Amino acid sequence: MQTPRLDIEIYKLSYSSATKVDTTMQIEKKITIINKLGLHARAASKLVGEATRYESQILIDKEGQQADAKSIMSILMLAAGKGTELLFQISGADAEDAFAAVETLINNRFDEDE
């Protein structure tokens, strides 16, 4: 009986490694809700739509109560009426762009008629 022959080929793998550079940015800024109806369902929906366009984590703080800007239920629980000051905490690689978009949306009164 013959023993089966086992051919093994060894390949040298070459690769280059890149060092990950931490590009996380953190922004904390306050914005006052200025639209007549405050952060109601339609406005919250627009805010969630804008926030989900970005990779960054976007948290909203109202007097110690935090909400995830990518969760409509979380935002509605803030019950933020007109004149409410909210602290936005944004962290991630695209934090600047995310904050600019959120700030524009709020300052444009969520594109609602007054």
Tell me if 18 is assigned to some domain: no
Alpha carbon distance 57, 13 (integer Å): 37
Q: Cα–Cα–Cα angle for 36, 39, 41, nearest 5°? A: 110
- Catalytic residue, chosen from 40, 71, 74, 94, is 40
Tell me if 8 is assigned to some domain: no
Residue range of the domain that includes 65 = 25-111
Please give the C-alpha separations between residue 22 and each of 91, 93, 100, 104, in angstroms, as whole numbers.
12, 9, 21, 27
Tell me if 16 is assigned to some domain: no
- The β-bridge relationship of strands 25-32 and 65-68 is unpaired
pLDDT at 113: 81
pLDDT at 16: 45
- CATH number for the domain harbouring residue 53: 3.30.1340.10
> Residue 78 corresponds to which tokens in the numbers above?
């803030």
Tell me if 61 is assigned to some domain: yes
Tell me the pLDDT tens digit for each residue of 13-70. 545 444 444 568 999 999 999 999 999 999 999 999 999 999 999 999 999 999 999 9
10: annotated active-site residue: no
Q: Max alpha carbon distance in the chain (Å)?
A: 93
Alpha carbon distance 38, 20 (integer Å): 41
Task: Please state the pTM of the whole predicted model.
Answer: 0.79
**What residues have CB less than 8 Å from 55, skipping those under 6 apart?**
92, 93, 94
Tell me if 5 is assigned to some domain: no
Tell me if 76 is assigned to some domain: yes
